[in-house]
Amino acid sequence: MASPVGRPDHPEALPLHLQVEYLHLALQENAVAEAVLTLAAEMALPGWYFGAGGVAQTVWNLRHGFEVADGIKDYDLVYFDPGDLSAESEWRVEEAVAAGLSEFDIVVDVHNEARVHLWYEQRFGRDLDPYQSTEAAIATWPTTASSVGVRRDHDGLVVCAPFGLSDLLGMVARPNKTIATQDVYEEKVSRWATRWPKLQVIPW
């Protein structure tokens, strides 16, 4: 697709509107990301975003010259439904997403961010206040580069990036210490650095 953005060497230095365009074009090159965005828009989940690793790693693959979907372990789809906090409802949404993407050999993690506080302590050993929105949840994800969510609506691509896009596009792994712990961060970035060697890892 023709674009004034093209493939700049330093997309993180672009003005914000061109950073968004670069991200949009990068995601369009990943057929899985496009399928997730299309399906989620059709399902019209409340407050939904496609985000985290599936977004960041698409960009990093392109910047490394790798196949665009190579090495992406899973894709994250989040939504916000405080009116139904049941695990069963979340499972039904995840099953519907899996069925809609069955042509791809992928794992899609689906979470209702309105109910994360119900299981967070058991999994991570600390209390978590209920999120008030999907955007509030995205702002607590473990790295600034992966604290990014995107969705598609009638106006085009909607981007939630509470820390901006420069770390994502510049391949910088920086800790977001809002709720993440050092061990979670270090395990994640150690795995990423092995797969994407140009990634600049900022120590905890």
CB-CB contact of 134 with 149 (8 Å): yes
Helix, strand, or coil (residue 26): helix
CA dist 113 and 54 (Å) reads 17
In which band, very low, low, confident or very high, does the pLDDT at 6 lie, cut at 50, 70 and 90?
Answer: low
| Per-residue model confidence as pLDDT tens digits over 123-134 | 888 899 999 999
Query: Looking at residue 51, what is its pLDDT?
Result: 96
CB-CB contact of 58 with 69 (8 Å): yes
Give the pLDDT mean for 177-182: 93
In which band, very low, low, confident or very high, does the pLDDT at 193 lie, cut at 50, 70 and 90?
Answer: very high
Query: Looking at residue 9, what is its pLDDT?
Result: 82
Asked if pLDDT for residue 199 goes beyond 80, the answer is: yes
In the chain, domain spans: 14-201
Query: Looking at residue 155, what is its pLDDT?
Result: 80
Taking CA atoms, 60 is separated from 23, 81, 112, 176, 180, in Å, by 11, 31, 27, 19, 22
**What contacts 132, CB < 8 A, 6 or more positions away?**
none
